[in-house]
Structure 1
């Protein structure tokens, strides 16, 4: 068996080859077990306010009762959530799930067009939205199936006087809350009051029921809703838990949750996995305010943190970060985009904690591969397939590729989505007849079963017939101390088909294009070297911090 799955020989001691997917029937069973076990322990904290597992139990029950009794929603109905990381988010998630409904996670930064597509496509019946983004909802709600809008403010659950003060400052001082005309909308606190004292009927939630409609970024056209079932997420939570569990202290962990809970990485790795551990999610509402973020970290004793490369890089380049007490930090997990060696090495030097790279997709709930937790140093791999997961590399003809050959990474396991919502053709393209999910990522596997991402299939640059992978170029240039951030893209070229262009944000104002090219001449073979170097003050990114190479490619065509 291990010859087919060589990675099993490299599993850390105590990590099983398989998990028992039947251990919990649904995410609600996991929640209820955690509530019984850790009732008085802190579950979520934000702006100095902490809710225990018992309080999450009471509040999510109230919200579930409101959805079922007042709104009269039926099992399987969809409820959209449009908020950053605030205490209302986990209450809403667990309330929706306890009512047997489906969560539609919605990016608060969506434009009216993007929001309308997602609400229409999902057929959501209700939406919970933070006041700051309610004007976007107001502009499209009439063209959707939404029957009830529930609004809330950042400070609504923070108590007096802090809560009202924060709401006042955001609206009248910082002017971050535009007026929104939403007749018939109600406040989140009113919804909780309406559900208080009412019992939630026993809803039979089966493992195959859809827990989340998780929309993929839509970087290649219109966003699609991945149907993630209770079984998918329970499986992934158990897979990640046994992988991380060797050095976790149950009921004592605090994880920094800076990536938004509407993103699958934070949703599973932070919210669900640490719920099973009885940990506390310390919610960061605005991680883009790096100075505020570092200040928050200085006053928090935390044991774990997850993020994307740009988040770790941003923290490392914020004054005061190196003065934080990292003595309790034992888990730093990077995913969502490639972790750059320069960032990982600097993270280890500053925090004393290895930055462990993991790999996943929305379609895999998300974790598929992770590096062993006992990894001493960054190794450039995305790790080993986690328990009950198979991975392979396939060529364009669908045949399995040998060790060290580059092809498309394919994943099979209980965490692979049910399919795309109302898109059978897209589902058939993504999941083949043998159950393999085709990721669209170019990768290779070494003899030990470690997988390495080479790049996104769509981002690959073709120079005179040679494949050039942007990740490699970016990794090299990120080693230059004068560079803050870098992205590499292909631009059309008459002679070679495409040429490499790099877009750089400088750390040192004295950096020149010639210096970048000269550095690359020593590090990269001829066809990989950047022909064009552009400097910008910032790179376009998704709300989670992934660099949008597509936008850079498009703007380069217009130049």
Structure 2
């Protein structure tokens, strides 16, 4: 595999050469190199040999290399004698404007036959990134800007590793997942052509699967089944019909659909056109939709008929298409009509600069939802990191219960593209119908959000036992906190099939807890997967000791590009804030203690609501709890708890006594309010902004929908 990158430096060839020939600085300048030492003390010139070593996670990959070309100030080349097979070359050339063009080329080959070939392919984009980083450092060193590297900057240093070893690991992971198989030559050629034509997009995933598995099920939903060949044909027609309707590459299109074939087919068709797709939350209210659409400015909106009234304002002066409908006649054209009228020929792929992008909205639990733009990953290494922790296999069946518009549901849709998964979809979540679907279609994977697991466990035991769910190998959760006790109860009922991913729309993922992690340390978010760096920093940007709570920062290939409305998350040394607080235990497992903007200072003490919520939620008779910070004249801030009970449950005094005895006096809620249910968004996150509004309304003399504290408990007991 050959990779080459170039950069232009505002300096003479001789000045550039002084940096390139200084091998003593290679450990600092070459991204990912941890050792570059002379073997024979011959520091310069042709024939000199060097022991080099690259850090790949916790592994070390080494080679003995020899300088085979030395032509100051123009060319320098080396080749490996032992170890990883590689050849490198510097080329320095003067430009007409007096500046210098510097090229760095690397040829390499990983061992291992087919696995080595796949390793080379998946590592290539990451190798290219390392070359770019190295050239950037060379430019900074020559032009005198400084490279900003130090022993206290682990983020950039660790992210700039050479990924050849990760490529080998990825290849082995993909082989274990059944992704690497021996195909007929014509099918293998078709697979390569699809990837070259469409890149790492949904269009490529279904085009490749249509070649390899044309007559096998791609989608099963309430309308029936579609094969991969049928999806390929239907999305070709739909893409051409979109183009005929005036939707062009580079346009943005909003998509507001529940979990059904229309969501998937629209996404695939729009990726063939080269559009940016804005995924709209089906739980949005009309004004919120209008605000998001006004900010994002999509050219068209594809929606389910049930959302017609909600989109009355947001859909004005925009092209509109209906995905799912129950009416015989609709005001706007339907996707079925587009498919029927569309040209079946394969669309012309979009230009690279207009390749498909996804805009996933943040949950909006603390304010107006923001659009988080993310390109397709430059390699499939991030998938390897996930598959290393979540046991998904090629050609399995996956019932995606999590909403597809949510980053977690969308992640599993993305996995289905790599694994040629048969996707089973139900438009709305129902706990018993989910179990029925698992049993009927012998589903192996069922990604959910934690509140869905909670609702399944609230079903009577005899109802749960009606359905044979023994086919399940993975129930991967994300989207909100997973109480440790709930995880244990679910695994006791359904087996050790649970995994929990912690992340955010902005950073993608930070840590993954396996079933073994969840049993060993209930409540943990797990450990960072390969290729992900996780650090805990204090308010001044310094890394905190193990066990100490601080702000969570993450680095990986899947971090978002910024909010579509402008701005981004805080970044320290190349690592991005997740917006949460947490700590690492002695095993390196992450525990999330709450949002960094939820921490309150009460009487000079830092208090995190999350730990108080967990304690209250574990009390007998408590169904769920949420805790917020409220203003307090004496202490500055105090906590207020909102509690949902069942079968009587504890009193306000019981709750306060429990917190005081198990945690600390300053963590005791000032008051406890009992509710019938907590306000949640579509993915199960508690809407604390609604609880704060409720509290502020009560402070202003308004009345909530519920009576509070012991009055409500007494009234409930008297019924």
The TM-score normalised by the length of structure 1 is 0.84
Match of 2:639 in 1: 500
2:394 is aligned, of 218, 231, 250, to: 250
Report what 1:151 is aligned to.
322
Q: 2:552 aligns with which of 403, 409, 426?
A: 409
- Equivalent of 2:383 in 219, 226, 237: 237
Structure 2 CA distance for aligned equivalents of residues 439 and 133 of structure 1:
32
Equivalence for 1:421: 564
Shift of 1:140: 3.3
Deviates more, 1:532-541 or 1:25-34: 25-34
| Counterpart position of 2:458 | 317
Q: Deviations over 1:358-402 (max 9, x none)?
A: 1111113x2232124654725222222222221211221122223
Displacement, 1:190? 1.0
Q: Name 1:397's counterpart in structure 2.
A: 540
Name the CA shift for 1:447/1:544 in 2 (closer, same or farther; >3 Å): same
The match for 1:61 among 232, 236, 241 is 236
Given that 1:232 and 1:415 are in contact with CA atoms closer than 8 Å, whether structure 2 keeps it comes out as: no
Q: Matches of 1:378 and 1:225 in 2, distance apart?
A: 37
- Matches for 1:87-126 after TM superposition, within 5 Å: 87-126=261-300
Counterpart Cα distance in 2 of 1:116 and 1:539: 26
For the aligned residue pairs, the C-alpha RMSD in angstroms reads 3.0
Identify unmatched segments of 5+ residues in structure 2. 1-31, 35-54, 60-114, 126-166, 168-194, 699-719
Q: Tell me the distance in 2 between the aligned counterparts of 1:348 and 1:7.
A: 31
Q: Does 1:259 align with 2:402?
A: yes
Please tell me whether the aligned partners of residues 392 and 445 of structure 2 are also in contact (alpha carbons under 8 angstroms).
no
Within 5 Å, give how 1:134-533 maps onto structure 2: 134-142=308-316, 146=318, 148-154=319-325, 167=326, 185-205=332-352, 209=355, 211-231=357-377, 236-244=382-390, 247-251=391-395, 253-268=396-411, 270-287=412-429, 289-319=430-460, 320-364=463-507, 366-372=508-514, 375=517, 377=519, 379=521, 380-423=523-566, 426-427=567-568, 430-432=569-571, 434-509=573-648, 511-533=650-672
Shift of 1:95: 0.8
1:214 to 1:505, Cα distance in 2 relative to 1, 3 A: same
Are the structure 2 counterparts of residues 99 and 378 from structure 1 closer, same or farther at C-alpha, using a change threshold of 3 Å? Answer: farther
Contact 1:130 1:152 in 2 (8 A): yes
Distance 1:326 1:298, change over 3 A: closer
State the partner residue of 2:137: none
Of residues 79-88 and 225-234 in structure 1, the stretch that sits farther from structure 2 once superposed is 225-234
Q: Distance in 2 between matches of 1:314 and 1:235?
A: 34
Contact 1:306-1:334 at 8 Å conserved across structures: yes
Please give the secondary structure, in 2, of the residue aligned with 1:558.
helix
The aligned counterpart of 2:714 is none
Q: Which stretch has the larger CA shift, 93-102 or 304-313?
A: 304-313
1:440-461 alpha-carbon deviations (Å, 9 max, x no partner): 1112223443222111112223
| Residues in 1 aligned to 2:624 and 2:466: alpha-carbon distance in whole angstroms | 23
Deviations 1:281-339 (A, max 9, x none): 2212111x444444444534222222222111111002312443231222121211111
Q: Judging changes above 3 Å, is the alpha-carbon distance between structure 1 residues 534 and 294 closer, same or farther for their aligned structure 2 residues?
A: farther
1:163 aligned partner: none
Cα contact 1:31–1:276 (8 A) shared by 2: no
Residues 140/274 of structure 1: CA separation in 2 closer, same or farther (3 Å cut): closer
SS in 2 for 1:135: coil
- Aligned residue number for residue 159 of structure 1: none
Against the structure 1 CA distance between its residues 322 and 555, is the aligned structure 2 distance closer, same or farther, given a 3 Å change threshold? farther
How many angstroms apart in 2 are the aligned matches of 1:325 and 1:21?
44
1:351, distance to aligned residue in structure 2 (A): 0.7
Report deviation, 1:21: 7.0
1:408-455 Cα shifts (integer Å, max 9, x gaps): 1111221111222241xx22xx15374321221112223443222111
Please report how far the alpha carbon of residue 249 of structure 1 lies from its aligned counterpart in structure 2 after TM superposition: 3.6
SS of residue paired to 2:253: strand
- Report how many aligned residue pairs link the two structures: 514
SS of 1:222's partner is coil
Q: Which has the larger radius of gyration?
A: 2
Which of the pair has the greater relative contact order for Cα pairs under 8 Å at 6+ separation?
1
Taking the aligned partners of 1:204 and 1:540, their CA distance within structure 2 comes to 44
Would the aligned equivalents of 1:26 and 1:205 in 2 still touch at CA under 8 Å?
Answer: no
SS of the residue 1:307 aligns to: coil
Give the 3-state SS of the residue equivalent to 1:20 in structure 2.
helix
Q: Secondary structure at the match of 2:310?
A: helix
Structure 2 residue 555 is the aligned partner of structure 1 residue 555: no
- Residues 301, 315 of structure 2: 8 Å contact kept: no
Kindly indicate whether the alpha-carbon contact (under 8 Å) linking 1:384 and 1:450 is maintained by their aligned counterparts in 2: yes
Contact 1:122–1:213 under 8 Å retained in 2? no
Report deviation, 1:521. 4.0
Match of 2:257 among 62, 67, 83: 83
1:262 shift after superposition:
0.5
- In the alignment, the residues of structure 1 paired with residue 207 and residue 445 of structure 2 have an alpha-carbon distance, to the nearest angstrom, of 24
Preserved contact between residue 232 and residue 416 of structure 1 (Cα < 8 Å): no
Distance 1:216 1:378 in 2: 31
Question: Closer, same or farther in 2 for the Cα pair 1:6/1:475, shift >3 Å?
Answer: farther
* Deviation at residue 493 of structure 1 after TM alignment: 1.8
In structure 2, do the counterparts of structure 1 residues 222 and 548 end up closer, same or farther at CA, with 3 Å as the change threshold? closer
The 1:419–1:452 alpha-carbon spacing in structure 2 relative to 1, beyond 3 Å, is same
Structure 1 residues not aligned, in runs of 5+: 155-166, 172-178
TM-score using structure 2 length: 0.66
d(CA) in 2 for partners of 1:402, 1:125: 50
Relative to 1, partners in 2 of residues 1:138 and 1:97: Cα closer, same or farther, differing over 3 Å?
same
Assess if the C-alpha contact under 8 Å between 1:212 and 1:229 holds in 2. Answer: yes
